[in-house]
Amino acid sequence: MGTPKAALAWGTTTLLAHACSLVREGVDGPVIVVGAPGQAPPELPAGVLYAEDAREGGGPLAGILAGLSAAAAVADAVYVSAVDMPHLRPAFIRRVLRGLDDETDVVLPEAHGFRHPLAAAYRTALAGPLGEIVAAGGSKPAELYAVVRTRVVGPEWLLADPLLRAADPDLDSLLNVNDPDAYAAAHAVAFPP
């Protein structure tokens, strides 16, 4: 992208502030931003907490671990979101979180041909086993899903929720911006010239 995605403009704010706002609408607890080791914390919206990923180069698993560890004292479960999903809908977050039950540790959406570990619900109790995986050099979410009770949910399950179906019938909540063209296109849709 050429610059940190979190700092990209999104209307009158940044992608990070926009993501924090959407997550805040979708959850009942605090919003926690996880940053890379040694990286200066970004400017955060009021009330948003910050946790540092303790492992350099640990991939998404290390970031998820940092978030789960930071949230464990205040929540039994979390919704994990990437910062670069500008079309995320709070109804999507609520639907994914409702997929957690007594038999499920992770609710993993699968749509648009991919599984989305950075748009999923996790039990904070997974910090223990996840810490062991990361300490052993693990970096891929599939390594966690192989050893915990993971519920993969597809478009049919997601869109069975009438509120989500009305707010996001194409599941654009799962679309991210990975390059300047995708960012520009998403921004133009949200903020037409």
Residue 149 one-letter amino acid: R
Structural domains of the chain, ranges and CATH numbers in brackets: 5-184 (3.90.550.10)
Q: What is the token pair recorded at 72? A: 């464990």
Q: What is the token pair recorded at 49? A: 């907490």
Give the SS3 label for residue 133.
helix
Residue 60 to residue 149: CA distance in whole angstroms:
19
Average pLDDT, the chain: 93
Q: What is the pLDDT of residue 3?
A: 83
Per-10-residue mean pLDDT for the chain, 193 residues long?
87 94 95 87 87 79 94 95 96 98 98 96 96 92 96 98 98 94 91 84
Q: What is the pLDDT of residues 22-71, one digit of tens each?
A: 999 999 999 999 988 887 777 898 999 999 887 776 678 999 999 999 99
| Residues 109/156, Cβ–Cβ less than 8 Å | no
Q: What is the pLDDT of residue 33?
A: 95
pTM metric for this prediction: 0.94
